[in-house]
């Protein structure tokens, strides 16, 4: 009896998952195929998408592929982290002398030896993988089977980042049945977009999307997790809908710490929107990541302790594609080559703009400038 098993977070299921399972079913012709969504601890979850919804998405995407697919909540029943060897163990208990095929992502093949108890997997299962475009041949020293053809280079992380950055499900990566579940349940930041649309002017909302898109591009270049970059980008101006007096009142009411608060209130209260946006990111959208919150707080004035993520947001905010002044193009181009130079240039432009407008210069901005010049020399 041939048994295929396909585990994964399926958060969400994308067309790459469907293509690889479809091909595996055609080639292996299993008697039973178990689709096993991973259990995410509600306390340690990388993504808070409930198991029930990930199972729903798996059913919607995979059910049309064959009648012998078993949608298996084994990991939920176990209620803890399940290693692949335990899945193999479970199938050996469930079936009488099964021939087990473990379908894995191509990227997993190279680190299979680092998985828990790999020898058990190699002994009792054939590892099955699809090749992605640009994938270099792997010399697997265990029983394995490469599915014929090439498979799309897709990842659930990218799909989530896409949805969070633009507020729409990418049709080229997600089938309509899964997209419907995502929309119906407001997953992956669709709720954030609804909030932003309701609280920001259309131009500001569009700007937030453009900043998030540029943050995503720069995160790839500078090796920052794309979801963090997009989160910072899309939420960075959440507090921008408030007037000066409203920002001051909000900061006082919620006891938000702001350097040079009295001076800012007196001379340039609009600067408070960064700190208020970080408050919304934390309390309205549930962001816990300190780097993301700091990046949002610092996106207008900067700080002496900027992380790469903070620098990306600072630069993306001033040079996103919706910015029409000519320096935006220069900074954007520079940012793709040298983030530090782009940051120096962006800080310079901001200071000059403030001086030209006869406005008050916040000491935080001056401190940043001096710090950057010191670092550059």
Tokens matching residue 151? 């498979």
Tokens matching residue 188? 């992956």
User: Which residue's CB is nearer to Fe ion, number 72 or number 317?
Assistant: 317
d(CA 76, CA 61): 20
The answer to whether 230 touches 216, Cβ cutoff 8 Å, is yes
For the CB of residue 355, give the shortest distance to Fe ion in the complex, in Å: 19
For the CB of residue 270, give the shortest distance to Fe ion in the complex, in Å: 9
For the CB of residue 299, give the shortest distance to Fe ion in the complex, in Å: 6
The answer to whether 256 touches 250, Cβ cutoff 8 Å, is yes
The region of 67-75, 126-134, 285-293, 311-319 touching Fe ion under the rule CB under 5 A is 311-319
Report the site for Fe ion in 312-351 (rule: CB under 5 A).
317
Tokens matching residue 31? 């008697």
Binding mask 137-176 for Fe ion (x = CB under 5 A): ----------------------------------------
For the CB of residue 41, give the shortest distance to Fe ion in the complex, in Å: 35
User: Which residue's CB is nearer to Fe ion, number 213 or number 237?
Assistant: 237
User: Which residue's CB is nearer to Fe ion, number 27 or number 330?
Assistant: 330
Count of residues making up the chain = 377
User: Which residue's CB is nearer to Fe ion, number 75 or number 237?
Assistant: 237
Q: What is the 3-state secondary structure (H, E, C) of 87-145?
A: HHHHHHHHCCCCEEEEEECHHHHCCHHHCCCHHHHHHHEEEEEEEECCCCCCCCCCCEE
User: Which residue's CB is nearer to Fe ion, number 161 or number 200?
Assistant: 200
For the CB of residue 244, give the shortest distance to Fe ion in the complex, in Å: 14
- Report if residue 213 touches Fe ion, rule: CB under 5 A: no
41 Cβ neighbours under 8 A, 6+ residues apart: 80, 81
The region of 120-128, 134-142, 243-251, 309-317 touching Fe ion under the rule CB under 5 A is 309-317
For the CB of residue 367, give the shortest distance to Fe ion in the complex, in Å: 19
β-partners of residue 128 are: 103, 145
- How big is the site for Fe ion, counted in residues (CB under 5 A)? 2
User: Which residue's CB is nearer to Fe ion, number 237 or number 298?
Assistant: 237
For the CB of residue 236, give the shortest distance to Fe ion in the complex, in Å: 6
For the CB of residue 239, give the shortest distance to Fe ion in the complex, in Å: 8
User: Which residue's CB is nearer to Fe ion, number 98 or number 233?
Assistant: 233
User: Which residue's CB is nearer to Fe ion, number 182 or number 293?
Assistant: 293
For the CB of residue 317, give the shortest distance to Fe ion in the complex, in Å: 4
Report the site for Fe ion in 230-249 (rule: CB under 5 A).
237
User: Which residue's CB is nearer to Fe ion, number 156 or number 300?
Assistant: 300
Residues that bind Fe ion (CB under 5 A): 237, 317
């Amino acid at each position: 009896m041939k048994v295929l098993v396909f585990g994964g977070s399926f958060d969400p299921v994308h067309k790459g998952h469907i293509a690889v399972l479809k091909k595996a079913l055609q080639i292996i012709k299993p008697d039973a195929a178990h689709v096993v969504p991973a259990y995410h601890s509600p306390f340690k979850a990388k993504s808070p998408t409930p198991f029930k919804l990930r199972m729903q998405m798996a059913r919607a995407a995979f059910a049309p592929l064959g009648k012998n697919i078993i949608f298996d909540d084994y990991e939920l029943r176990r209620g803890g982290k399940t290693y692949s060897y335990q899945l193999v163990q479970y199938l050996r208990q469930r079936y009488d002398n099964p021939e087990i095929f473990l379908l894995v992502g191509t990227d997993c093949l190279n680190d299979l030896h680092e998985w828990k108890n790999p020898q058990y997997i190699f002994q009792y299962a054939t590892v099955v993988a699809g090749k992605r475009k640009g994938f270099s041949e792997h010399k697997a020293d265990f029983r394995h089977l490469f599915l014929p053809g090439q498979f799309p280079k897709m990842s659930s992380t990218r799909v989530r980042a896409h949805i969070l950055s633009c507020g729409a499900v990418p049709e080229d990566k997600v089938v309509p049945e899964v997209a419907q579940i995502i929309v119906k349940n407001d997953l992956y930041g669709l709720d954030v977009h609804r909030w932003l649309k309701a609280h920001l002017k259309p131009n500001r909302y569009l700007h937030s999307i453009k900043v998030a898109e540029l943050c995503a591009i720069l995160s790839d270049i500078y090796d920052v997790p794309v979801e963090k970059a997009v989160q910072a980008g899309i939420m960075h101006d959440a507090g921008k809908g408030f007037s000066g007096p409203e920002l001051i009142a909000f900061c006082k009411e919620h006891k938000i710490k702001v350097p040079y608060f009295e001076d800012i209130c007196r001379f340039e209260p609009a600067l408070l929107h960064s700190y208020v946006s970080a408050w919304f990111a934390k309390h309205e959208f549930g962001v816990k990541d300190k780097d993301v919150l700091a990046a949002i707080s610092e996106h207008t004035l900067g700080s002496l302790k900027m992380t790469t993520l903070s620098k990306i947001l600072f630069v993306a905010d001033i040079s996103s594609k919706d910015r029409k002044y000519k320096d935006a193009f220069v900074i954007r181009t520079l940012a793709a080559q040298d983030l530090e130079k782009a940051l120096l240039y962006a800080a310079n432009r901001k200071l000059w703009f403030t001086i030209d407008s006869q406005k008050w210069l916040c000491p935080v901005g001056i401190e940043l400038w001096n710090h950057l010049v010191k670092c550059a020399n």
